[in-house]
Chain A
Amino acid sequence: MEASLLLLRIAVLLYIAAAASAFASLFLKVRRGSAMAASLAGTGLLAHLGYLLARGWEMGRLPLEEYRDMVSVLCCAAVAVYLIAYLRTRLEVLGAVILPLVLVLLFISDLLPAEMVPVSRDLERAFLDFHISIAVLGAAALFLTFAASVMYLVQERRIKLKKAAGGGVPLPSLEKCDSLGNISLMWGFPLLTLTIITGGVWAANFRERPSIYERQETFALLAWVLLGIILSARFFNGWRGRKAAYLTILAFTALILRMIGVVL
């Protein structure tokens, strides 16, 4: 137990250092700060994976049973998404948006009660693991959608207020934010859809009192509906821009609330 916790602490420290150098690169113009952030986060990711493996080894199964473990896996996946996106786009701001959020979630996960979903049969367990895994992957992809929306809103505001040409934090063009958000949403939304379907199937078949709607799923459904509206409005009417970005952030927030177990 102790050794694996040490790995988690190392991972958190590395993430903190990575977030700090991402900010230093943006605001203090430290040269190669964002590359440094990525390498620190990458090393942190290895430690984090090590922790999750050790945790799974201890439990003899995937560490997805408790909320705190699931959030930890989600953070790990979000850091991986950040690294992939950074390596592909070299956008300096990504680290400064995603890494702090990951840190906040990791700290929250530490406060969560060690609550488990009671599971009886092996088949049920496997089904639930699948459900949670794709939920985590989908949410991790949506981290990027969220970051793109935040960057879009800041950049859009700068342009509208005629402050775009000055110095300040280097931000990608609106078009770039938009396409990054759209691509990641195209990954996240289908996974989220599959999550909701498997969740419904699980609830209908394995629960003692089968029901298709659970109160704790309100936020997940809200997120799914909002993202669905955003995607279809874009598909049919080219809808994009400020309002779409706000709605995306709202949907992402709802999803994260669900992931940390907040019940309306």
Chain B
Amino acid sequence: MSIVLFGVNHRSAPLEVRERLAFPADGLQDALHRLTGNPPFLEGLILSTCNRTELLAHADGRESLEGAEAMKRFLSEERNFPAIELERYCYRMADRDAVHHLFRVTASLDSMVLGEAQILGQVKDAYQAALKAGSLGAVLDPLLRRALGVAKKVRTQTGIARHPLSVGSAAVSLAKTIFEELKGRRVLLIGAGKMGELAARALVERGADSVVITNRSFPRALELSQRLGGRAEPFERLLETLERVDIVISSTAAEEPILRYDDVVRLIRARKNRPIFFIDIALPRDIEAKVNTIDNVYLYDLDDLADVVSTGRAEREAEAARAEEIVRREVEVFETWVRHQDLSPLISATRDRFERLRALEFERHRARLSTLTDEQRHAVEELTGGLMSKILHHPIQALKRTVRMPEGPDRARFFREVFGLDEKPEEPAEPSRQEPAAAKRGEDDPPDHT
């Protein structure tokens, strides 16, 4: 069996190239049909996002990289992109490397933003599309399900997705150290800066209640409130508004602080000590730094948030090493599974062959055995059967043991040769018996296209 992967990602190709190679979502099914209708591909999957286009296939034939050549032709025709140019941007991988790459991608270890959650959904979508197109089978289907499982394991067992990486997620994670949950918390956005808007949006997406927007220009506040689905309040009533909110994001262009220490002391008294969280992302700052010393008042400015984000990035990178380790182990597990899959038809073919030989010998000696009583005949059958399984026991165990070793495939080949499994059977004793190995597509079958 061979698994082939061919594609581009954000590291190997610029955006213009990735744009041209991306598959539109609605054409994915047809593309998958064309891919799998194309020898040597038996199964296929297309993962197409803004950061990558990757084709994954289970290809027939022993030389996996030949499959990659065919994939290049397919992608070139499909996306109308010169094959020669494609060579500059693409990477190709086979078998173990391809599995490893797929696991890393799904676990978000290959993402532009390490540990981001989106890619998992995108792989799921690609998997669903391929399921619908019927382009998955005995190899890619378990592979994809394993990849999704590995990603989940990485997310739960390492902190790779836990640490905040943006001002918005930093605001959310900080707010959660103060408030038990964001649900029911009111957010006030002062000023109409882009970053403030993003932070407010992040808080609302994570459950914060309503957003109140205030701005020196009231029409701007109104406009923004419509976009964020909030309410606008006049800037002059800032101090009253502050009494009714829990999280404040400030990003005005004011030269002087708009909230001073004394204001906030009065505010916290009016709030009856209910805690308030200020996020000041304005430059110069909107809120006097001394405010942070007041009990029940928490103030984070742009530098503090930047620290949170860079700590988050460092933490994620540290966690990535553990994630890579999980991926590496899982690749091994999958490889062993694949080899076991490869072995089982071989083992049953061996047993079959010996069974056939036994039947043949019985047939040959039928005349001489006809004088035996039923009991004696039964004993002879048992004797020959037992002898056969005893003889086969050790070779089969030895074969199974080599599954994890790199010389496994060579051993399997040697095994076939020793027991003559590739020879045509001498006139079948029971013509109705089906060759079980033929049921499986894989290296046992002659390639279709030869």
With A160-B298, A162-B307, A167-B159 in contact, is A175–B180 under 8 Å at CB? Answer: yes
Residues of chain B with a CB closer than 8 A to A237's CB? 272-273
Cα distance, A160 to B275, chains bound together (Å) = 13
Residues of chain A with a CB closer than 8 A to B340's CB? none
Instruction: Report how many residues on chain B are interfacial, defined by Cβ distance under 8 Å.
Output: 28
- Contact partner of B178 (CB less than 8 A), chosen from A162, A175, A239, A243, is A175
A241 on the B face (CB < 8 A)? yes
Residues of chain A with a CB closer than 8 A to B177's CB? 155, 158-159, 164-165, 171, 173-174
Residues of chain B with a CB closer than 8 A to A166's CB? 311, 315
Cα distance, A93 to B38, chains bound together (Å) = 60
B336 on the A face (CB < 8 A)? no
A162 closest partner in B (C-beta): B304
- Contact partner of B163 (CB less than 8 A), chosen from A165, A240, A243, is A165
Q: Which of B304-336 contact A (CB under 8 A)?
A: 304, 307-308, 311-312, 315
Cα distance, A243 to B312, chains bound together (Å) = 31
B295:A173 contact, CB within 8 angstroms: no
A125 on the B face (CB < 8 A)? no
B315:A167 contact, CB within 8 angstroms: yes
Residues of chain B with a CB closer than 8 A to A241's CB? 273, 275, 295-296
Cα distance, A103 to B170, chains bound together (Å) = 39
B164:A165 contact, CB within 8 angstroms: yes
B261 on the A face (CB < 8 A)? no
B275:A175 contact, CB within 8 angstroms: yes
With A162-B304, A165-B311, A243-B295 in contact, is A238–B174 under 8 Å at CB? Answer: no
Cα distance, A220 to B176, chains bound together (Å) = 37
Chain A: minimal CB distance from B386 (Å): 49
A55 on the B face (CB < 8 A)? no
B296:A240 contact, CB within 8 angstroms: yes
B274:A238 contact, CB within 8 angstroms: yes
Residues of chain B with a CB closer than 8 A to A159's CB? 174, 177-178, 298
Residues of chain A with a CB closer than 8 A to B173's CB? 165
Q: Which of A139-178 contact B (CB under 8 A)?
A: 155, 158-160, 162, 164-167, 171-176
A207 on the B face (CB < 8 A)? no
B179 on the A face (CB < 8 A)? yes
B300 closest partner in A (C-beta): A162
- Contact partner of A175 (CB less than 8 A), chosen from B163, B179, B300, is B179
A174:B295 contact, CB within 8 angstroms: no
B76 on the A face (CB < 8 A)? no
- Residues of chain A having any CB pair with chain B under 8 Å: 155, 158-160, 162, 164-167, 171-176, 179, 237-243
- Residues of chain B having any CB pair with chain A under 8 Å: 159, 163-164, 170, 173-174, 176-180, 271-275, 292-293, 295-296, 298, 300, 304, 307-308, 311-312, 315
- 16 contacting pairs across A/B (C-beta < 8 A): A155-B177, A159-B174, A160-B292, A160-B293, A162-B307, A162-B308, A165-B311, A165-B312, A166-B311, A167-B315, A171-B177, A173-B180, A174-B179, A237-B273, A241-B275, A243-B295
